[in-house]
Each structure stands twice: as structure tokens, then as C-alpha cells.
Structure 1
Amino acid sequence: MTGRKVSAVTGVTAYAGRPAQRRALTFVELMICVSVISIIAVSAMALSETGSRLAREFELKSVLRIVRTAIDKYYDKSREASPALMDNLHYPKNLDELVEKKYLRKLPVDPFTGLSDFRIISSTDEPDAIKTNGENLYDIKSSSDYTALDESKVNQW
């Protein structure tokens, strides 16, 4: 009966032997816990990154919608004021003009580049033109080459 002791007070049998096995089991349990926590942490980071990307995509869509609405309002008001002008003369010259005339509160910022460096599209540009003739502001697109979560390019929105 090596390693077995019975307490005279409680009557409980305690095993004094095998401390190395007990420590090894505790170490294995610790490693399993660390592994599980690591997996959870990596998953949380991946979800956080996806959430951040979705937020930037949503913000860009919102900025594009706001600017396009401002361009439409500018066009409508200009057309009402002087209907005899040619169509392309009713559009603003640039984003600054929309801010100056209070159609926008401030210059919009592209959430992917952090700058107000949108690609300007003129009403007289070809649909697939890379460079604009700069005649007026018909539309804007992101200048970023970022690929969205749905595999589309944000500069094509």
C-alpha cells in the first residue's frame, strides 16, 4: 500500500503518489485552454476586420449617394433658373462649387483612401473613359483599387 494514506480525522483516502502525472495532466489542460482561447481570439479578429471593411463600404456608398443627390439638385435648380442653356452647362464645375453653393457641407472623403480624391466624370465623357475632359461634374467614383466583399471593385460603383 505504497502512496495511500487514510486521514484519521476525515477518513478520506488520499493518494500521495503520482505527482508527475497530475502535473502533466494539468499542463495538457492548460494547453487545451490556451488553444481554445487562441482560436476564439483569431475568429474575433477576423470578424472585426470584416466588420471594418463592411463599415467602409457602407460609408463609401453613403458618400456617393449624398454627392450624386447634390449634383442632381444643382442640375435641377440650374435648369429651372435658365432652361435655355445646353444640358452640360447645368452641371457644377467641380466638388468645390457644390460646397460653395451649400449643396454639400464639406468636401467628401473617400473612406478607402482617406482623401477627397474622387475620380470626376464629366457629362461629355465616354462611358468607359479613364480620364475626364474636366468640363463639368456629372458623377464621381472612388479612386481606390479596393475589391469589396462582394468581389466588385469600389471604383466601379
Structure 2
Amino acid sequence: MSGNYLNKTKRGFTIVELLVVLSVIALLLSIVTPRYLNKIEEGKEIALRQNLSVIRKSIDQYYSDQGEYPDKLTQLVEKHYLRVIPLDPIAEKNEWDIVKEKQIGGIYDIKSTSQQMGSDNRVYSEW
């Protein structure tokens, strides 16, 4: 019985092997993580462009149908030009900077409330 016990060797990883594996994993994560974070920001920018386009198109359609610009964005929802006011994905709020038409009145355009810099080196509120 004691002969069998001596023939069995303990198997496992040494501390050096574990450190090598962990350092390889850390290296891979340091390469992948920045690319992942850039893709998240890129996705938010695409969503912002799309949301701006949808709201602006709805404002134009409202003006074309009604002969005047809406006084509030909620009028676009009330009159079924939009289902809901889209979210500003950069500011993460349902608030927009409103540009009023000077002569006629009403909302002529909208912009993001975010003062962060976009990938095109312009502030999001200038889009």
C-alpha cells in the first residue's frame, strides 16, 4: 500500500506558470479594452446622429403640415410625428438644446446638451 502512495506524484501548476498565464491574460486585456471602449463611444455618436436626424425630420414635417414650428417638442409626440422624444445618448438625458426660429417662432432645430468633444473634433452641441 505504501508503494502505491510513493509512485503517485502530485500534479498542479507552479506559481511561475500561474504568473505567466495571468500576465498573458493581462496583456490581451490591455490590447482589447481600449478598442472596446472606442466602439462604445462610436455607437453613442451614431445614435446621436440618428436621433438628431429623426427629430429634425419630424420638425420639418410638422412645419410642412401645420404651417408653423412646434412650440414644444412634446407637440411632435402629441400630434404623432414621433412616438417618444429620443434620448440624447451622449448626455444620457431626454433633454435637448432648442433653437427657436426668430421671425415665425417655434422650435426650428435641436442640438445636444453635451459639451464633450466628438470624434470629428467638434463639440456635440455643435452637431
Q: Give the distance between the partners of 1:55 and 1:44, measured in 2 at CA.
A: 17
CA offsets per residue over residues 65-112 of structure 1, 9 Å max, x none? 000000111111123xxxxxxxxxx11111011110000100221112
2:69 corresponds in structure 1 to 91
Counterpart position of 1:71 = 59
CA distance 1:150–1:31, shift in 2 (3 Å): farther
> Within 5 A, what are the aligned runs for 1:5-154?
27=16, 30-79=18-67, 90-124=68-102, 135-154=105-124
Q: Distance in 1 between matches of 2:85 and 2:116?
A: 21
**What's the TM-score, normalizing by structure 1?**
0.66
Name the CA distance, whole Å, in 1 between partners of 2:99 and 2:120. 24
Question: Aligned pair count?
Answer: 113
**Structure 1 moving runs of 4+ over 2 Å:** 29-36
Q: Aligned residue for 2:8?
A: none
Partner of 1:13: none
Quick one: percent identity of the two aligned structures?
A: 31
Amino acid at match of 1:136: G
**CA RMSD of the aligned region, Å?**
1.8
Change in 2 beyond 3 A, CA 1:149/1:32: farther
Question: Which ranges in structure 2 are unaligned for 5 or more consecutive residues?
Answer: 1-13
Q: Tell me the equivalent position of 1:8.
A: none
Q: Tell me the SS of whatever aligns to 1:138.
A: strand
Please report how far the alpha carbon of residue 56 of structure 1 lies from its aligned counterpart in structure 2 after TM superposition: 0.6
Larger Rg: 1
Shift of residue 32, structure 1, vs aligned partner = 4.0
Distance (Å, rounded) in 1 between the aligned partners of 2:102 and 2:27: 54
